[in-house]
Amino acid sequence: MRLFPSLALASLAAGFVVHERDTCIIFPESLTHDGEAVDDAPSIHEAFERCGKNGKVIFEKGHVFNVNSVMNTTGLENCDVSLRGELRFSTDVDYWLANSYSVVFQKQSTAWLFGGENVTFRAEEGGWYNGNGQTWYTQNRNQSNQPGRPISITFYDSKNLHVDGLSIIQPQFWATFVWASQNVSLTNFYVNATSDDEWGTVNTDGYDSWNSRDLLVENWVVQNQDDCIAVKGNTTNLLVRNVTCHWNFGMAIGSVGQYEDMPDYVEDITFEDVRCYNCMEAALIKTWQGIPEGHSSNGNGGGGGSGYVKNVQFRNFEVENTALPIQISQCIYTENGQNCNTSKMAISDITYSNIKGTSRYNIGSSIYCSDVHPCPGIKFENVELDSVNSTLDLPLYGTTLQDEVFQCTNIIDQEQSGIPCNRKAPSNYGQAVFTNVKDDSSATEDTEDRTEESTRDPQVRPKKKPQEKLAWE
């Protein structure tokens, strides 16, 4: 096999790491193993050990780096990282389930712990992350959180960290997680989780943060079937700006309030210049109920946690064919709908401004605050939402409610809120909406049956009743 000059140099270095002064260049093991997918994690660890402090780490351009084992590259200092090739994670499900690093939250784990102080990580010249997630989507079969199913990359214990230009294709679980960090910016990201079989891409959030502050998420495109951007507990001072979401649950705060012994405080959050196309939600705040339960539809038990969500701005949103554009729910995972008015999470000072576009059904918002903590300071400013059918001058089927529905419960000073409340919000209204709100009393109390169709749902196509025409057909 012919070796190029740089490759010949690499062959002289142990573990395929070329170390020159403060720079470590990584080459893949496959170059001397006839293309075999030999694990490059040891070489990657070696490079960060040698050059992770006051140095540079470069994944050489144009190569595939096979990651067959977990990686912990934390404790970096004054380090610049350049990813110029493909990081390809193995599909050995049994290995990852048994070996992924715990991230504590919800008993979840990660394939890669990355972090430090004064660190940059740039994907350049075609560099990207391949999670080989299809194996996980098929294996998980639309189930909820699975212990050991790894988050693609967790930015941990970091300060002054900047990550730019990274594409994460087919993430195994959540694409990114920011944990126990301060002053972290993630810019110019692309995340795509798309299944090629009958199983969906559940739990492939684009971004999540927990116990972190002073954060920036800017210039992202995310296509998946879970949260586009999600804010977990004890996240403070986060700006999310210029994000486009496809087929997912948009901007989410939560879930919070899951653990009795772990209060959640979320404060000073701004989402602005957001586009949601064919989403299930656009702007969502979700908390657990106030009484603990041993199991939930999300796979974890919980509830009873205290804390607050306050000073949140959702502004300049363009929504198109979104099932439920705006929601506050304080009983997000309770399967039986009991104890939904007991949440200990206080929600206040939430502003929705310049939110415009189309809802998939006849509902623009559902805002439910618990009896324990009615919500002050909830405001609509220049919110203009109409159903797709209404904009096409088509009737809404299966309901006598032809005007947009705005559901409200326990909003303090509701008359001054700017919200055109015209219906009571049920305490157990779910995240996934598949039908119009009906004009009958049972619809305000019982929201479990969402099987009747109305407009065309691009994600779950309903069966058509006789003599009934669906929009978009």
Active site members: 226
Closest to 210 measured CA to CA, from 276, 263, 248: 263
Question: What token pair was written down for 287?
Answer: 């908390």
C-alpha 196/C-alpha 134 separation (Å) is: 7
Please give, one letter per residue, the 3-state secondary structure of 268-329. EEEEEEEEEECCCEEEEEEECCCCCECCCCCCCCECCCEEEEEEEEEEEEEEEEECEEEEEE
C-alpha 200/C-alpha 323 separation (Å) is: 18
Alpha-carbon distance values, 366 to 29, 401, 406, 417, 455 (Å):
54, 15, 6, 14, 19
Q: 331-359: b or e for each residue (b if 16 or more CB lie within 10 Å)?
A: bbbbeebebbbbbbbbbbbbbbbebebbb
Helical residues (DSSP H) of 41-148, grouped into ranges: 41-51, 93-99, 134-140
Closest to 324 measured CA to CA, from 405, 224, 228, 269: 405
C-alpha 441/C-alpha 425 separation (Å) is: 12
Length of the chain (residues): 473
Question: What token pair was written down for 71?
Answer: 């990686």
CB 454 within 8 Å of CB 398: yes
